[in-house]
Amino acid sequence: MSALFDRLQTLFEQGHRAEIPDLLSDERFADAERVADAAVLIAVTDRPAPGVILTQRPAGMRDHPGQVAFPGGKIDPGENAIEAALREAEEELAMQPAHVRVIGATDRYQTGTGFDITPVLGVVPPDLPLEPNPGEVEAWFEAPLDVLLARENWSEHEVFWRGATRRYLEYHHQGFRIWGVTAAIIANLSRRIEYRALFDA
């Protein structure tokens, strides 16, 4: 059994026992005429210093081109969020679903571009032989979990977008800019998981 999985699962369950009213969302910017359900996989690597697997989207993609993202995409008819997240991770990175120990789905995030995203947290073995699909993934990398969950490592910025001020978080890791939707999902997860308790265990 995995000690990391057990600790993450316990903290995840504890952190979801109460409602958090002020989680980040771009719902007020969303186009109601273009809404699609989607799911992403937050894959945590089971190593002494756990990481999170992230991808960079190709510049030619229609939605969020060139941005850092979790493996994920639209939920197909007949799928639930967990099934979709696992399928997308396999399509994008050849990450076999059998390698993912799912902890659960966390808070949905609505984007300004019309996606209602359900993040799914799971633990994967370290150093999986991942193979990026060039049509969907420009590059992939692993960022340290403890750094991502610590809010003090993120800088906050503002931009005027769609007639209003939009605040967003940003963090740079080895040349990759993590911001926008991905940063917001991480920030919301950090409200559910007390990272100091995770790494002090």
List pLDDT tens digits, range 108-156: 998 878 889 999 999 999 999 999 999 999 999 999 999 999 989 999 8
**What is the chain's mean pLDDT, rounded?**
90
Distances in Å between the Cα of 194 and the Cα atoms of 46, 95, 158, 161 are: 18, 27, 27, 32
Whether 1 shows a pLDDT value over 90: the answer reads no
Whether 157 shows a pLDDT value over 90: the answer reads no
Q: Are 198 and 8 in contact, with CB atoms under 8 Å apart? A: yes
Is the sign of the CA dihedral 94, 98, 99, 103 positive or negative?
positive
In three-state form (DSSP H/G/I as H, E/B as E, the rest C), the secondary structure along the chain is CCHHHHHHHHHHHHHCCCCCCCCCCCHHHCCCCCCEEEEEEEEEECCCCCEEEEEECCCCCCCCCCCEECCEEECCCCCCHHHHHHHHHHHHHCCCHHHCEEEEECCCEECCCCEEEEEEEEEECCCCCCCCCCCCCCEEEEEEHHHHHCHHHCEEEEEEECCEEEEEEEEEECCEEEEHHHHHHHHHHHHHCCHHHHHHC
Is the sign of the CA dihedral 49, 57, 150, 155 positive or negative?
positive
Whether 63 shows a pLDDT value over 90: the answer reads no
> Which residue type sits at 66?
G
pLDDT band at 32 (very low <50, low <70, confident <90, very high): low
pLDDT band at 167 (very low <50, low <70, confident <90, very high): confident
**In the predicted model, what is the mean pLDDT of residues 177-194?**
94
pLDDT band at 194 (very low <50, low <70, confident <90, very high): confident
**Which residue in this structure is represented by tokens 């081109």?**
65
List pLDDT tens digits, range 73-91: 999 999 999 999 999 999 9
